[in-house]
Amino acid sequence: MRSDNQCQVIVGNTVSQAYREVMSLLPGEMRPAEPVGKPPLTFRRVGAGILDALIGTMSPLIPAIIGGSMVKLLAMILEMSGVLPKGAPTLTILTVIGDGAFFFLPLMVAASAAVKFKTNMSLAIAIAGVLVHPSFIELMARAAQGEHVEFAFIPVTAVKYTYTVIPALVMTWCLSYIERWVDRITPAVTKNFLKPMLIVLIAAPLSILLIGPLGIWIGSAISALVYTVHHYLGWLSVAINGRPVAAAGDDRDAPRLYADYHSDHCRNPAKRGW
């Protein structure tokens, strides 16, 4: 396609293959540097990689988390001071405004993690949206009450994913590999519709059946550790837990961990511990 003094070549769905062919024709000094071999896998590298993923994902979300926390704090102060009675519409709306960032935290985590892991953001958000869909939340509530729930003859663990971080984070990391694998196996002519369909059909059930429950277990273990440290070390736990919790975002109760603690102590001054 010609436009003024420019000539554009429209390749279409096979652009990645065309790119490799063009790069192979370039002189050696103009080719991209060959990737250096991966260093050996060690516990230190694994730990550093996990911490980097957590910080890289949660850092862009800090403004929303702080904004929601402050609005929730404002609603709590207005209720405790008697300015707004409990159950007042204004108080309810303020609480919802403050809680929105936390309730839909999996969606924000998926979007941020998609940038970090270089995968499709819209697919990551769509799959995370399954975990907080009202119908799915209702189904998980029934499962928690003892109803047998299964998907394709596989039992589904009753889990609540709102307010969580780690399930969406792990799901998006897995999605980055699923997307690359599906891209390799789908024919070029069907990539526009078959590739996203296969990605969703693979990643969403995998999140519901395996990744989600595993992420909740990890997050619950982190939260239990934070509560245990606080119980035995008191105020010193803020200094010990502050950085890891801020970096990792913790899970489920963690975004509201310290706010709930101070709220509980304001309402019950004589109560100690979490």
User: Would you tell me how many other CB atoms lie within 10 Å of the CB of residue 273?
Assistant: 11
CB 198 within 8 A of CB 231: no
Token pair recorded at residue 120: 């499709």
pTM: 0.74
Phi and psi, residue 146, nearest 5°: 115, -5
Token pair recorded at residue 23: 């790069």
**pLDDT at site 47:** 80
**pLDDT at site 267:** 45
**pLDDT at site 222:** 78
**pLDDT at site 36:** 56
pLDDT tens digits for the chain (274 residues)? 666 677 777 776 666 677 777 777 777 666 666 555 566 777 788 888 888 998 999 999 999 999 999 999 999 999 999 899 998 999 999 999 999 999 999 999 999 999 999 999 999 999 999 999 999 999 999 999 999 999 989 999 999 999 999 999 999 999 999 999 999 999 988 888 999 999 999 999 999 999 999 988 887 887 787 777 777 776 665 555 555 554 444 444 444 444 444 444 444 444 433 3
Domain borders along the chain are: 49-267
